[in-house]
Amino acid sequence: MIDVALLGFIRRWHLRDQIPIREIARRLDISRNTVRRYLRSETTEPSYAERRSVSGLDKYSVQLSGWLKAETTKNA
């Protein structure tokens, strides 16, 4: 996964400051291949798959909805 802060350092140092890939790798203590991969990537921000976690209330949702409907009709 691409770390946005690290990607920013690598791109800034390489494109703006003209620091060689070897020096960037040494400064960040990562491999030169990793620096190259970050420079080649078109990603500017990481993308994550949307997660749908199961709620503890899901199994009671029908019953809760029924109670809420009953309460709204009772008070009206």
Q: Is 35 domain-assigned?
A: yes
Q: Is 72 domain-assigned?
A: no
Q: Is 2 domain-assigned?
A: yes
Domain range for residue 35? 1-45
- At a CB cut-off of 8 Å and minimum separation 6, what does 36 contact? 21
Q: Is 54 domain-assigned?
A: no
Domain count, the chain: 1
Mean pLDDT for 37-60 is 79
Which pLDDT does position 5 carry in this prediction? 84
Yes or no: say if 21 and 33 are a contact pair by the CB < 8 Å rule: no
Chain-wide mean pLDDT for the chain? 86
Which pLDDT does position 65 carry in this prediction? 92
Q: Is 74 domain-assigned?
A: no
Which pLDDT does position 24 carry in this prediction? 95
Q: Is 9 exposed, middle or buried (0-12, 13-18, 19+ CB in 10 A)?
A: middle
